[in-house]
């Protein structure tokens, strides 16, 4: 039976890397981080895909195509940073 709770701290962060202090720790940490990145990237993709840029097309295009594209780029960057939903 696996031990579910442990009072020791096996996780540390050193030089921006997650360190797991177990025999197979680094490989487990790498796999965990890779899976977390996948989930986060999928969530960001879904949030950006849900944005409706064409609802107010006339108003948006009134500012010109270049400004419109810059606004879309800024909105997508804010979603990726978690600043806007």
Is position 45 within any domain? yes
User: Coil, helix or strand for 36?
Assistant: helix
Range of the domain at 33: 10-50
**Residues 15 and 43 reside in one and the same domain:** yes
For residue range 18-62, what is the model confidence (pLDDT) as tens digits? 777 776 767 777 788 889 899 999 999 999 999 888 888 888 788
d(CA 20, CA 10): 6
Number of folded domains that form the chain: 2
Is residue 81's pLDDT more than 70?
Answer: yes
Is position 28 within any domain? yes
H/E element holding 19? strand 17-20
**Residues 46 and 56 reside in one and the same domain:** no
Confidence of residue 16 (pLDDT cuts 50, 70, 90): confident
| Residues pairing with 11 in the sheet | 20
Q: What is the pLDDT of residue 85?
A: 55
* pTM of the shown model: 0.63
d(CA 64, CA 18): 46
């Amino acid at each position: 039976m696996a031990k579910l709770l442990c009072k020791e701290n096996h996780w540390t962060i050193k030089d921006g890397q997650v360190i797991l202090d177990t025999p197979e720790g680094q490989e487990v940490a790498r796999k965990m981080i890779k899976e977390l990145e996948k989930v986060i990237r999928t969530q960001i993709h879904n949030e950006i895909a849900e944005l409706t840029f064409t609802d107010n097309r006339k108003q948006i295009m009134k500012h010109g195509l270049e400004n419109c594209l810059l606004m879309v780029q800024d909105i997508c960057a804010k979603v990726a940073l978690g600043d806007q939903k």
